[in-house]
């Protein structure tokens, strides 16, 4: 992460949805249970469709709005085939904006807005990065102001990534990146992705011994039961990073 309204739901729903095998294992009408099974594309897509339908039926449903944004972020970064990912992330931005409009004092909408924008900025070229650079930072600073501990310090982690990714001419700073990433680890010392991001920042600063320790910490950290699908992918990233740092 460079750090995801019902608009755009059709681009996400183009996938074949639910089959009998999945229905036998996961309640077909419980989007939270379906989303826990998000490594299965059918489950993740079905959860997304349910939250989109609930939001369409009740445009003031804050919970469905931010959960829809989160689900679209997953589909846009992990679940969908490459040609459909950009549309999912753009739809995630729309859902996050709806959540913010419904309750600007809650962190969820701001955070998932930045997450979806960040994924677009990282994955879809310089124009996307320039377009969303300032908005991502603003959304993360707002999240930090509302609740610094939200999702185990995720706002600090995302800001750390922002400062690493953005060129110095436009406000980037490895020093600021390190500061925010270390702060995020005070909320969850076992955050696999925070250790990875910190390793990359330290490597860019020429501190490769420290970077290797952070990559190893990511490999050794336990899987978070709430984020197991993400953490399994992050561990593979950490292994590749450690191999690169050992050359």
- From the list 109, 110, 113, 133, the residue with the least C-alpha distance to 121 is 133
Domains held by the chain: number: 2
Whether 8 and 109 map to the same domain: the answer is yes
Q: Which CATH number characterizes residue 138's domain?
A: 1.25.40.10
From the CA atom positions of the chain, what is the Rg in Å? 18
Cβ atoms of 197 and 217 closer than 8 Å: no
Report the 10 Å Cβ neighbour count for 81. Answer: 9
Q: Are residues 14 and 115 in the same domain?
A: yes
Report yes or no on 98 lying in a domain. yes
Question: Residue 125: what pLDDT?
Answer: 63
Residues 102 and 211 in one domain: no
Q: Please give the Cα distance from 31 to 48 (Å, whole number).
A: 7
Question: Tens of pLDDT along 216-243?
Answer: 999 999 999 999 999 999 999 999 999 9
Same domain, 16 and 122: yes
Within-domain flag for 157: no
Q: Residue 75 corresponds to which tokens in the numbers above?
A: 């589909």
Among residues 173, 146, 155, 2, the alpha carbon closest in space to that of 73 is found at: 2
Domain that holds residue 93: 1-147
Which residue do the tokens 């991001």 mark? 197
18 backbone φψ class: left, alpha, beta (φ>0; ψ -120 to 50): beta
Relative orientation angle of helices 228-245 and 208-220, to the nearest 10 degrees: 150
Q: What is the pLDDT of residue 104?
A: 98
Q: How far apart are alpha carbons 117 and 90 in whole angstroms?
A: 8
Q: What would the two tokens of residue 66 be? A: 């931010």
Residues of the chain with pLDDT under 50: 1-24
- Residue pair 224/231 in contact by the 8 Å Cβ criterion: yes
- Compute how many other C-beta atoms are within 10 angstroms of the C-beta atom of residue 212: 18
Same domain flag for 98 and 18: yes
For residue 211, what are the contacts with CB-CB under 8 A and spacing of at least 6? 198, 199, 200, 202, 203, 245
Q: Show which of 101, 132, 147 is a domain's final residue.
A: 147
Answer whether residue 152 is part of any domain: no
At 150 the three-state DSSP class reads: coil
Q: Is the residue at 164 inside a domain? A: no
- Residue 168 placed within a domain: no
SS3 147: coil
Regarding whether 115 and 181 lie in a shared domain, the answer is no
Would you state the pLDDT for residue 126?
56
Does residue 169 belong to any structural domain of this protein? no
> How far apart are the C-alpha atoms of 36 and 54, rounded to whole Å?
18
124 and 73 part of one domain: yes
CA atoms of 63 and 224, how far apart (whole Å): 23
- Sequence-separated (6 or more) residues with CB below 8 Å from residue 182: 198
Based on the fold, state whether residues 124 and 13 are members of the same structural domain: yes
**46 lies in the same domain as 124:** yes
Distance, in Å, from the CA atom of 100 to the CA atom of 169, rounded to the nearest integer, reads: 30
pLDDT of residue 175: 98
Residues in the chain: 247
């Amino acid at each position: 992460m460079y750090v995801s309204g019902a608009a755009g739901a059709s681009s996400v729903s183009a996938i074949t949805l639910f089959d009998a095998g999945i229905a036998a294992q996961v309640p077909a009408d419980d989007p939270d249970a379906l989303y826990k099974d998000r490594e299965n594309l059918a489950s993740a897509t079905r959860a997304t469709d349910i939250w989109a339908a609930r939001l369409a039926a009740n445009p003031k449903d804050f919970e469905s709005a931010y959960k829809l944004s989160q689900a679209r972020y997953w589909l846009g970064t992990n679940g969908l085939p490459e040609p459909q990912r950009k549309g999912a992330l753009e739809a995630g931005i729309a859902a996050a904006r709806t959540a913010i409009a419904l309750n600007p004092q809650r962190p969820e909408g701001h955070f998932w807005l930045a997450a979806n924008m960040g994924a677009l900025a990282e994955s879809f070229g310089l124009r996307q990065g320039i377009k969303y650079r300032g908005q991502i930072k603003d959304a993360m600073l707002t999240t930090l102001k509302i609740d610094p501990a939200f999702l185990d310090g995720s706002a600090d982690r995302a800001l750390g990534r922002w400062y690493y990714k953005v060129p110095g001419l436009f406000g980037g700073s490895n020093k600021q990146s390190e500061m925010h990433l270390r702060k995020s680890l005070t909320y969850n010392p076992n955050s696999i992705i925070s250790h990875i991001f910190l390793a990359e920042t330290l490597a860019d600063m020429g501190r490769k011994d420290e970077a290797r320790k952070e990559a190893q910490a990511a490999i050794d950290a336990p899987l978070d039961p709430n984020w197991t699908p993400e953490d399994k992918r992050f561990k593979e990233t950490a292994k590749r990073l450690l191999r690169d740092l050992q050359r």
